Amino acid sequence: MSVAPDTLIHPALRVAVIGAGYWGPNLARNFAMSTEWELVAICDMDMARAEALARKTGNPAVVGSMDELLASHAIDAVAIATPARTHHQIAMQAIAAGKHVVVEKPLADNSVHGAQMVQAAAEARTILMADHTYCYTPAVLKIRDLLAAGELGEILYIDSTRINLGLVQPDVDVFWDLAPHDLSILDFVIPGGLNTRNVTALGSDPLRAGKSCIGYLSMELDSGILAHINVNWLSPTKIRQMVIGGSKKTLVWDDLNPQQRLTVFDRGVDLERQEMIRADSEDRKGATISYRLGDTWSPALSEFEPLGLMVSEFAASIRGSRPAPTDGPSALRVLRVLEDASLSLAAGSIPQATSNRKTLVMGNVL
């Protein structure tokens, strides 16, 4: 008796989590809870830390190196949760062994390494996926649907704020620490992705930490959208907000408002009326701005764990031999904007055109 393709029961895919530090436990927990995955091993040079995590996630095997992992365990994929400077080496070794890879942000420490990872995965026909977790939240998925449906009209501008009283990171500035979240969201929701004409970054270091602790990132996209991101480690108030302005409507996402995360405003400048005024130069001189006043509504959102959806999408991409929603090329676009931001800072906040990009390692110009 034949079974319809969508009712076939697949054996669980076998995965190892590499890195048992800050983010590794979150990945291990979600892989262990998923019916689509079997968590086979935890890999970390700190064996005590790896063993502690293994005890919390079903007692998978514990190994201290990639060589031991690949030699001793049959796995389909690895999830990398180690410092960014190690992503390239680990991912390339896994891809060379025919394993699928999901890696936490950023994809790598520079775009040359990132591009090598993307190319290697393509040649090996393995899945390379970035764990851009925000892209799997109910709010961001809804935003993507609204933009794809043209609900807001032509996107004119995007303004994002991600500020809090946060930990000053030892190896990266505030742009590399916080902006990847916003950049990955923009790449995910904007039709066609995050393709920039130029990038300008302005940073401040009032703590004398030797790196920007406050940052303003402005981008002009190929589509004509003007995007702006404010990141800050020093704010006593935590704000996670994004405003997306369109020719028809404007969307406001307040991630810290559980009752009303998304709000769509059908009000603003009447751009069609302004175009009519612009066509007549005499009328334009004496004309006032025409405003549109409409309804405000909040879309209903589902509730689920974003990381749970991420690991499910990773499995679906492997089984379907299709790019992941946050695939290697999308993560590489994010990485290149971060590099352009660092170049702009190094040049005294001069706008950096995409064609002028140089190679950087974690914000340091080579």
Mean local confidence (pLDDT), 46-52: 97
What are 215's two structure tokens?
């940052």
Is residue 352 within 8 Å of 343, Cβ to Cβ? yes
Residues 193-206 have pLDDT tens digits of: 999 999 999 999 99
pLDDT over 50 at 366, yes or no? no
pLDDT over 90 at 263, yes or no? yes
Q: What angle do CA 157, 158, 161 make, to 5 degrees?
A: 145
Rounded to two decimals, what is the model's pTM? 0.88
Residue 9 has what pLDDT? 67
pLDDT over 90 at 308, yes or no? yes
Residue 351 has what pLDDT? 86
Residue 4 has what pLDDT? 37
Residue 267 has what pLDDT? 73
Is residue 105 within 8 Å of 130, Cβ to Cβ? yes
Residues 142-156 have pLDDT tens digits of: 999 999 999 999 999
pLDDT confidence band for 294 (50 / 70 / 90): confident
Euclidean distance between CA atoms 214 and 260, whole angstroms: 28
Residues 193-248 have pLDDT tens digits of: 999 999 999 999 999 999 999 999 999 999 999 999 999 999 999 999 999 999 99
What are 64's two structure tokens?
């201290």
pLDDT confidence band for 295 (50 / 70 / 90): confident
